[in-house]
Amino acid sequence: MTTWKRCLLWGITGTLACAPILPAQETAQPGSVSGTPVVLTLRRAVELALQNSKDIQLAKIQAHLADQSADLIKSEFLPNLYAGSGAGYTYGIPETPGGRAPSVFSVTYTEQVFNEPLRGMVKEQQEQAKAQRIVLEETRNTVMLRVATAYLELVKVHHSLELLRMEKESAEKIVEVTQERQGEGYELPVEVTKAQLTHAQVVQRILQLEGRQDELEVYLRNQVGLAPDQPIEVTPEDLPGAAEQHGANLIAMASENNPSLAFAQSDVRAKEFRLAGERRGKLPTLELVSVYSLLAKFNNYTDFFTKFQYNNFNAGVNVQFPLFSSKTRASIALAQANLDAARLNLVRTKNQVSAGIRQKSRKVQETDAAKEVARLELQLAQQNVSVLQSQFGEGKANLRDVEHARVDENEKWMAYLDANFQRQQAQLELLRTAGQLEKVLQ
């Protein structure tokens, strides 16, 4: 038993870091036969989640909507041709509410040529569309982080359940031996109760971990697009070596790749475009216009005009000079306030990202130290089991002492698995903040 556990320890501390990644066609296949377990690797789980995540699909739709919104405003600077007709009653001089002569058929052409406030809005919307694509990237990072964390936790839960089931066997043996000794008068009833309590606590923890295992499997099946009852097998893995980075490198990477920081920078650029456009609102605007109209005989134009023609066409430019515009001043003030707020948010985001990198780097170091402590405690517990087994073979220790040592070894095993998972979590959070998560997991 001890030899097997030593192999498992080295399997986690060493072999897991170089575990081969199975080809995609040999791993998870959505829609596989329900009774056949699907073998997932960490990278394959992330890959399938990126393909099937509803959050990512929604973010893609929102990015598309942002592009369409920018195109809608930009269309004012493109040719726009309208054709129409209408009917109405006139009394007196025939004219429409807009002041034009009523027509049976008309064609209107418009195109903005020079309108700086409107052009500023176009550039703002285009930059916001880019920002929405940054939001899409952040959504992808969130999905990768959650799926990778769930995967690694499921690996830990599987190993913990194996250890607890062995611990349950040891606890049952301790209860049997203690009851025998109590029947022979060598133990008090309180010792039997203690042994039974230990056994009950192990059973309780097994049930709790089985519940957690079910939750994680349901979540992973939903994320990777498997059937609700599809069995899953996960392989023990550690994060790739690229996850190891120095704090200074990560801060530099975060300045270039952190989605939150990129979004704040894009927001500042968008507000700068809007302010520049509003400030140029004091300049004239120029629009190309052209109208063709076909007038009708039944409007009795001859009663009011000495001469007219049924086919009419005009083309030219519409130029407006803003002599005094309260709206322009208010728009400039609003755009300036929005820009000031965006710049402050950018400074705050930079500080938060820098502080987050340092904090998460320290967290990785702390969890790495905790993992080393847990490894040494496990090694000590294994050595203690070996000593007691030797003493038991020589008749110097009883079976209960050996089983107690095995229970302690299992506890140290689970503590080591917890410490390893905590370190992996800290690494994932650090990589996400630095904008390096996708490079490591794909």
Shared-domain flag, residues 437 and 375: yes
Q: Are residues 361 and 305 in the same domain?
A: no
Residues 314 and 406 in one domain: no
Element (H, E) at 39: strand 38-40
Q: What pLDDT shows up at residue 241?
A: 58
Domain that holds residue 110: 80-114+288-321
Cα 44 from chain centroid (whole Å): 17
Residues 177 and 226 in one domain: yes
* Number of domains within the chain: 2
Question: How far is CA 431 from its chain centroid?
Answer: 13
Question: CA–CA separation, 8 vs 15, rounded Å?
Answer: 10
Angle at 356 between CA 354 and CA 361, to 5 degrees: 100
pLDDT (0 to 100) of residue 185: 81
Which residue among 270, 305, 321 closes a domain? 321
CA distance 181 to 186: 5
Do residue 23 and residue 121 come from a single domain? yes
Domain boundary among 321, 345, 375: 321
Same domain assignment for residues 310 and 422: no
Are 346 and 264 contacting, i.e. CB atoms less than 8 angstroms apart? yes
What is the pTM assigned to this prediction?
0.76
What gap in Å lies between CA 423 and CA 400, rounded to an integer?
Answer: 35
Of the residues 304, 321, 338, the one at which a domain ends? 321
Q: Could you write out the DSSP letters of every residue in 396-441?
A: SS-HHHHHHHHHHHHHHHHHHHHHHHHHHHHHHHHHHHHT-HHHHH
Same-domain pairing of 100 and 123: no
**DSSP code per residue over 115-161:** -HHHHHHHHHHHHHHHHHHHHHHHHHHHHHHHHHHHHHHHHHHHHHH
Residue 98 CA, chain-centre distance (Å), reads 53
CATH number for the domain that contains residue 31:
1.20.1600.10
pLDDT single digits (tens) 204-241: 999 999 999 999 999 999 998 888 888 888 888 777 65
Q: Can you give the pLDDT at residue 251?
A: 67
Per-residue CA distances from 359 to 109, 243, 283, 337 (Å): 60, 16, 51, 33
Whether residues 239 and 371 fall in one domain: yes
Tell how far CA 108 is from the center of its chain. 48
**Residue 413 near residue 340 (C-beta atoms within 8 A):** no
Nearest Cα residue to 328 out of 287, 272, 282: 282
* pLDDT score for 18: 36
pLDDT of residue 16: 34
Helix, coil or strand: residue 23: coil
Whether residues 97 and 52 share a domain: the answer is: no
Cβ-based neighbours of 112, under 8 Å, separated by 6 or more: 76, 77, 118, 285, 286, 287, 288
Residue 103 pLDDT: 78
pLDDT at 64: 92
Q: What pLDDT does 24 receive?
A: 36
Nearest to 4 by CA among 385, 393, 430, 429: 385
Task: Assess whether 151 and 211 both reside in one domain.
Answer: yes
Give the integer Cα–Cα distance in Å for 442 and 427: 15
> Residue 28 in contact with residue 40, Cβ under 8 Å?
yes
Compute CA 121 distance to the chain's CA centroid, rounded to the nearest angstrom: 29
The residue ranges of the chain whose pLDDT is under 50 are 1-29, 31-33
* Cα 33 from Cα 41, distance rounded (Å): 18
Q: In this predicted structure, what is the pLDDT of residue 179?
A: 87
Per-residue pLDDT tens digits for 285-309: 888 888 888 877 776 777 777 777 7
Give the Cα separation of 423 and 363 in Å (integer). Answer: 8
The pLDDT assigned to 225 comes to: 87
Who contacts 13 (Cβ-Cβ below 8 Å, separation ≥6)? 375
Do 18 and 53 sit in the same domain of this protein? Answer: yes
Q: How far apart are the first and last CA of the chain?
A: 37
The burial class, CB within 10 Å (0-12 / 13-18 / 19+), for 107 is middle
Asked if 266 and 394 sit in the same domain, the reply is: yes
